[in-house]
Chain A
Amino acid sequence: GESVGLHLPTLSVQEGDNSIINCAYSNSASDYFIWYKQESGKGPQFIIDIRSNMDKRQGQRVTVLLNKTVKHLSLQIAATQPGDSAVYFCAETMMDTGRRALTFGSGTRLQVQP
């Protein structure tokens, strides 16, 4: 998995703007990816997932893009709202392995300014 750091990168956006959160994953064999949102003191909440046979998937106000060539994942949030303020984690796994546990990135803090 990725190395983790003590200081989270922070993305600050104005309410109503679009947000783009990036993630570089480590294992080229990973074939399933998830974005989670974590608010302070709470467990991660599932946002959206994507399999490696896709390069884009859309949900409600969110879009995930996958670039397997450069091992890069992004989460786009449209019309960002104050309630979107949280830490966002990407996670990767290989579905064919018995373990099927997730490897998490170190996270990005999203701050939405009113």
Chain B
Amino acid sequence: DGGITQSPKYLFRKEGQNVTLSCEQNLNHDAMYWYRQDPGQGLRLIYYSQIVNDFQKGDIAEGYSVSREKKESFPLTVTSAQKNPTAFYLCASRTGLSTDTQYFGPGTRLTVL
């Protein structure tokens, strides 16, 4: 998992609640990403950020929000507008130089009760 940490490992949410997933990296990487993974499927991009104070929507951004106030942190908020939030959420980071290799955190499993 490199120097990327995600917390909590498991998260339970009641319907109508917003929850925030933490992602921290000590790799001095410029770019950070959030993906969602559903059972038996690949990863889908939610949001990404290439530099501090800047972020862009991915393919499935509806119902999610992010911030990038610090280089090492990229928290994801799952809002009540996300109709089917139960999934495995993965954060990744990349150096921003000549390589596109992304390194992933251990993930957070979110379950809506």
**Residues of A participating in the B interface, judged by any CB pair closer than 8 Å:** 1-2, 4-8, 32, 34, 36, 41-46, 49, 89, 93, 95, 98-102, 104-107
A residues in contact with B64, CB < 8 Å: none
Nearest A residue to B39 via CB reads A6
Instruction: Say yes or no: A99-B56 contact (C-beta < 8 A), given A34-B101, A42-B107.
Output: yes
- Determine whether the beta carbon of B107 is less than 8 Å from that of A43: yes
| B residues in contact with A44, CB < 8 Å | 43, 90, 104
Asked whether A43 and B90 contact (CB < 8 A) given A99-B56, A101-B58, the answer is: yes
Q: Which residue of B lies closest to A8 (CB)?
A: B40
> Which chain B positions have C-beta within 8 A of A8?
40
Number of A-B contacts (CB under 8 A): 71
Q: Is there an interface contact between A93 and B41, defined as CB atoms closer than 8 Å? A: no
Q: Do residues A49 and B101 form an inter-chain contact, with CB atoms below 8 A? A: yes
Which residues of chain B have a CB within 8 Å of any CB of chain A?
1, 4, 6, 31, 33, 35, 39-45, 48, 50, 56, 58, 90, 92, 94, 99-107, 109
Q: A99-B56, A100-B31 are in contact. Are A4 and B41 (CB under 8 A)?
A: yes
- B residues less than 8 Å from A49 (CB atoms): 99, 101
- Shortest C-beta distance, A89 to chain B (Å), equals 6
Which residues in B have their C-beta under 8 angstroms from that of A7? 40
Closest to A34 in B: B101
Q: Mind listing 25 A-B residue pairs with CB under 8 Å?
A: A2-B42, A4-B41, A5-B40, A5-B41, A6-B39, A6-B40, A36-B104, A41-B109, A42-B107, A43-B4, A43-B90, A43-B104, A45-B1, A49-B99, A89-B43, A98-B50, A100-B31, A100-B50, A100-B100, A101-B33, A102-B45, A102-B100, A102-B102, A104-B42, A107-B40
Residues of A within 8 A of B39 (CB): 6
Closest Cβ–Cβ distance, residue B2 to chain A (whole Å): 9
B48 touches which of A99, A104, A107 (Cβ 8 Å):
A99
* CB <8 Å contact, A89 and B106: no
